[in-house]
C-alpha cells in the first residue's frame, strides 16, 4: 500500500510540474542498436487539418551509417520522411526517396524548418497532450517504436523552454479583440 500511495503521490507531483511549467512531460530516450532516439514530439493541428509533422532526434553511437527508411503509425494514413529546402527563394518540402541517413557519430535532428516526419491523412486532429505512437524503420537497427508528445500549435520544440511555457497554453491572446 505504501508503494501505491507513493506512486500516486509522484504522479500528482508530475502533473503539478506539468501544469506549472509544462516542462516535465518528455518521452524517455529510446535505444535501438547503436541508435538513440529522443525528443519525439509533434504540434497540435488546427481544426480540420489532415496533415501533421513529427519531430525527433536520432543519435548514431555506432561506427556504421544507418538510414531511416520508413515510418508508420495508426494515427495517419501515410507517413513520409520529408526535408525542407529553399528552391529559388521558395520554401518547399519533398520526400526523401532513399530515406534519411544517420552517419556514425552524428546526431540528426528533425525540427520545424528542416527534416520532419510528414503525417498525412490524419485519422483525427492532434491535440496538445496527445501521445502518438509511431514505428520507425531503420535499415540496420530495424523497427523502433517511439511516441510523439503533442505540444501546442505554435510550439517550437519538445519542451516548455522553447514553447513559451504557460503563455502558449492560453487560447486567447490578451491583445486580441474579443
Output the smallest distance, CB 137 to Cu ion, in A: 18
Residue 30 CB, shortest distance to Cu ion, in Å, is: 23
SS3 89: coil
When the beta carbons of 67 and 82 are compared against Cu ion, the nearer one is: 82
Would strands 35-43 and 142-151 be described as parallel, antiparallel, or unpaired?
Answer: parallel
DSSP state of 49: -
Determine the Cα–Cα distance for residues 105 and 34; give it in Å rounded to an integer: 10
Under the binding rule (CB under 5 A), the answer on residue 43 touching Cu ion is no
Distance CA 166, CA 23 (A): 10
By rule CB under 5 A, what string of x and - marks binding of each residue 66-105 to Cu ion? ----------------x----------x------------
Question: Do 17 and 23 touch, CB atoms closer than 8 A?
Answer: yes
Q: What's the min distance (Å) between Cβ of 116 and Cu ion?
A: 6
How many CB atoms neighbour CB 44 within 10 A?
19
By CB under 5 A, which span of 15-23, 38-46, 59-67, 112-120 interacts with Cu ion?
112-120
Q: How far is the CB of 92 from Cu ion (least distance, A)?
A: 9
Binding site for Cu ion (CB under 5 A): 82, 93, 118
Amino acid at each position: 500500500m505504501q508503494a501505491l500511495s507513493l506512486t500516486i503521490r509522484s504522479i500528482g507531483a508530475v502533473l503539478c510540474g506539468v501544469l506549472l511549467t509544462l516542462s516535465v512531460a518528455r518521452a524517455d530516450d529510446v535505444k535501438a542498436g547503436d541508435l538513440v532516439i529522443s525528443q519525439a514530439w509533434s504540434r497540435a493541428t488546427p481544426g480540420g487539418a489532415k496533415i501533421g509533422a513529427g519531430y525527433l532526434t536520432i543519435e548514431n553511437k555506432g561506427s556504421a551509417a544507418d538510414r531511416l527508411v520508413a515510418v508508420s503509425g495508426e494515427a495517419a494514413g501515410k507517413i513520409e520522411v520529408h526535408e525542407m529546402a529553399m528552391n529559388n527563394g521558395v520554401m518547399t518540402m519533398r520526400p526523401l526517396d532513399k530515406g534519411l541517413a544517420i552517419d556514425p557519430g552524428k546526431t540528426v535532428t528533425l525540427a520545424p524548418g528542416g527534416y520532419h516526419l510528414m503525417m498525412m491523412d490524419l485519422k483525427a486532429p492532434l491535440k496538445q497532450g496527445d501521445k502518438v505512437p509511431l514505428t520507425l524503420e531503420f535499415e540496420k537497427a530495424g523497427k523502433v517504436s517511439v511516441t510523439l508528445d503533442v505540444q501546442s500549435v505554435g510550439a517550437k520544440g519538445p519542451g516548455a523552454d522553447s514553447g513559451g511555457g504557460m503563455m502558449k497554453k492560453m487560447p486567447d491572446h490578451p491583445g486580441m479583440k474579443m
